[in-house]
Structure 1
């Protein structure tokens, strides 16, 4: 389902209301991503190198599982000529993003991995880069395999898929150490002082300005979180099998990785 642009902010009472909740989202998400801003910067560096550095003056970029547009907005700021499409299944987060970011981004509602989800985006040309951050681990292994294969078919030769996520090493002992290293880093940065996921959503539900969006959201059937137990090497193998020629990690801290797959 392609949503396109919203008029009248689609139920968000005011732009400041949307901005307030997007800004709280940004702070809340710092609890769940080690060095979140640095990871965003690394992902943007890769995309810029592959697209603008590769001679693409107006690249087409997809942000998969975009939420209210955190990474998509950073890509648009870095590459103003790019067409950036944020894809998510949550209509409330998409509407907050539309109201807050305005015309800098295009948002589309779709369930990643479901049959026809890429067709619903109405893309008119090959994709130069697809990015995602802390989203693809929600997909089951079969769905993720299909999604990687479909993306490989839509990304142009030389284009790239960049995924920033929590990916476990093959060794349980190394995994244990990586998680501990990440926890220590979060403590040093006081990341756990920010509100958590449940608190953010409780606040949203208590805000009368968001009541129309919540009502519309509650009428939807939300996608089931399948999840998977794939290790980092499992992901790299799936990407190769799906048609990506060059795959590997370009950044890591603890069990947080930025994985790059080039067509």
Structure 2
């Protein structure tokens, strides 16, 4: 396993100043890019569509926000935006809250998206855009469909929901197998060059004096990794229309991932 000095210099800051949140953000991004090399392109298209559909000063809900990856890119691209991040993971939320401390454009809420009452904890009743990436595949199809109904209630008329995630078409098994083999070969090459995987990143977090406690609580909540579903883009589009969106379709895809947009 790589040590801290070989992992994007993830470390605690000088004594008395807490964790180096910028280093942790960078390390999280590199770990995620090991799985999704097109991750930044997904974010670019997502924010292109936000700007095109709801303007340059949107009120955004960063759903299952993690470390605030979407919020960071949103504010860099659209500095007049405001963002509410919602998540349950105490370690990733600690990084998000540390990163955006003092920025009054950003609010974070701790809530379980499987709890029907999570929407009552939000600071606003409606949003111009609800955005999420690489998170909702942790849910099974039934609770995900229920969540989509709640999201439809939060998005204003004319507003948007976008989900960038793994969306698997089971009707193309040979194509899926070829894509998986290609992706795993690239990941093995990156590993040989020193990339961290999911498990190694969390081992580093558990060693950090500031993140050790939140990381332990995180594994009490989730275990090693949640076991959800990855239905097709067609399933997502159909369910979103059934739940109240007027239009829904992919606006970007890679061989393994899809960015699906629903318009209220």
- Could you say which residue in structure 2 is the equivalent of 1:31? 34
Superposed displacement of residue 16, structure 1:
5.2
Superposed displacement of residue 204, structure 1:
1.1
- Could you say which residue in structure 2 is the equivalent of 1:148? 148
- Could you say which residue in structure 2 is the equivalent of 1:65? 64
- Could you say which residue in structure 1 is the equivalent of 2:240? 239
- Could you say which residue in structure 1 is the equivalent of 2:3? none
Superposed displacement of residue 220, structure 1:
5.9
Separation of aligned partners in 2, 1:40 and 1:187: 24
Which protein, 1 or 2, shows the higher relative CO under an 8 Å CA cutoff with sep ≥ 6?
A: 1
2:91–2:218 CA contact under 8 A, matched in 1 = no
Separation of aligned partners in 1, 2:121 and 2:51: 26
- Could you say which residue in structure 2 is the equivalent of 1:261? 262
Separation of aligned partners in 2, 1:127 and 1:165: 21
- Could you say which residue in structure 1 is the equivalent of 2:45? 42
Superposed displacement of residue 214, structure 1:
4.0
Structure 2: runs of 5 or more not aligned: 1-14
Separation of aligned partners in 2, 1:202 and 1:184: 24
1:98–1:105 CA contact under 8 A, matched in 2 = no
Other structure's SS at 1:251 match: strand
Bigger CA drift: 178-187 or 89-98? 178-187
Superposed displacement of residue 143, structure 1:
0.5
Question: CA RMSD for the aligned pairs?
Answer: 2.5
Other structure's SS at 2:117 match: coil
C-alpha spacing 1:16/1:179, structure 2 compared with 1 (3 Å): same
C-alpha spacing 1:42/1:182, structure 2 compared with 1 (3 Å): farther
- Could you say which residue in structure 1 is the equivalent of 2:75? 76
Separation of aligned partners in 2, 1:121 and 1:243: 20
Superposed displacement of residue 230, structure 1:
1.7
1:131–1:163 CA contact under 8 A, matched in 2 = yes
Separation of aligned partners in 1, 2:30 and 2:192: 10
Separation of aligned partners in 2, 1:222 and 1:181: 29
TM-score scaled to structure 1, two decimals? 0.83
- Could you say which residue in structure 1 is the equivalent of 2:99? 100
Superposed displacement of residue 233, structure 1:
1.5
Aligned residues: 245
